[in-house]
Amino acid sequence: MMGKRGLPLLGIGFLAAGFTLIVLAGAFGAPGSSPTQVSWGIGPGGMMGFGGPGFGSAPDPGSSGFVAGTAAAPRVVRIVASEQLRFIPDVVTVKAGETITFEVTTVGMSVHEFMVGPAADVAANTTGTPEIADIGMMQAKSLTYTFAGSGPFSFACHAPGHYEAGMKGSIVIVP
Ligand SMILES: [Cu+2]
pLDDT (tens digit per residue) in 34-91: 333 333 333 333 334 444 445 679 999 989 999 999 999 999 999 999 999 999 999 9
Residues 155 and 123 in one domain: yes
Residues 84 and 27 in one domain: no
Structural domain boundaries, residue 22: 1-56
- Ligand 1 is a single-atom ion; what residues have CB below 5 A from it? 112, 157, 159, 162, 167
122 in Cβ contact with 86 (< 8 Å): no
Residues 30 and 88 in one domain: no
Taking the centre of ligand 1 as the mean of its atom positions, its distance from the CA of residue 87, in whole angstroms, is 8
State the CB neighbour count (10 A cutoff) for residue 42.
13
Give the separation between CA 26 and CA 34, rounded to whole angstroms: 12
State the CB neighbour count (10 A cutoff) for residue 162.
19
What domain count does the chain have? 2
- pTM here? 0.71
Nearest to 131 by CA among 150, 154, 109: 154
Residues 100 and 144 in one domain: yes
